[in-house]
């Protein structure tokens, strides 16, 4: 199979994941759903990096970049979930609009 054709299929999937994550960021008001939307968006970016590495015959470099990106994502998600749990304990809600009540 032609690598350019594989890149086209991957690009359609990447665009779909990126668009799905972006729509989730714009529409959702729940903090957990926003975090999931961010993760979907970053998975699209990871897939784009791997697909570009495959198309350019530079797979190992892109795979190492994606593994590093995944490690950073895990740390960010852990911190974000800790903050979300703390906000839920303070406000009793996960709605973004209720965060205005937390002004100093």
Residue 12 in any domain: the answer is: yes
Q: What pLDDT, on the 0 to 100 scale, is given for residue 77?
A: 94
Using a CB cutoff of 8 Å and minimum separation of 24, what contacts does 7-12 make?
7/51, 7/52, 7/54, 7/55, 10/47, 10/48, 10/51, 10/54, 11/48, 11/51
Q: What is the pLDDT of residues 77-104, one digit of tens each?
A: 999 999 999 989 988 888 888 887 776 6
Query: From CA 48, how far away is CA 11, in angstroms rounded?
Result: 7
One-letter-per-residue 3-state SS of 17-86: HHHHHHHHHHHCCEHHHHHHHHHHHHHHHHHHHHHHHHHCCCHHHHHHHHHHHHHHHHHHHHHHHHHHHH
Domain count, the chain: 1
Tell me the whole-structure pTM to 2 decimals. Answer: 0.84
Residue 75 in any domain: the answer is: yes
- Its domain, for residue 51, covers 3-92
Residue 50 in any domain: the answer is: yes
Residue 98 in any domain: the answer is: no
Q: What pLDDT, on the 0 to 100 scale, is given for residue 70?
A: 92
Residue 100 in any domain: the answer is: no
Q: How confident is the model at residue 36 (pLDDT cuts 50, 70, 90)?
A: very high
Position 30 pLDDT exceeds 90: yes
CATH code for the domain of 58:
1.10.287.3510
């Amino acid at each position: 199979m032609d690598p350019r054709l594989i890149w086209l299929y991957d690009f359609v999937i990447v665009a779909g994941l990126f668009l799905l994550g972006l729509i989730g960021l714009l529409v959702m008001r729940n903090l957990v759903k926003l975090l999931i939307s961010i993760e979907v968006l970053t998975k699209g970016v990871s897939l784009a990096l791997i697909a570009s590495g495959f198309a350019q015959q530079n797979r190992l470099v892109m795979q190492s970049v994606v593994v590093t990106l995944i490690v950073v994502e895990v740390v960010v998600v852990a911190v974000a979930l800790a903050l979300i749990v703390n906000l839920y304990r303070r406000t009793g809600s996960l709605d973004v609009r209720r965060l205005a009540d937390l002004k100093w």
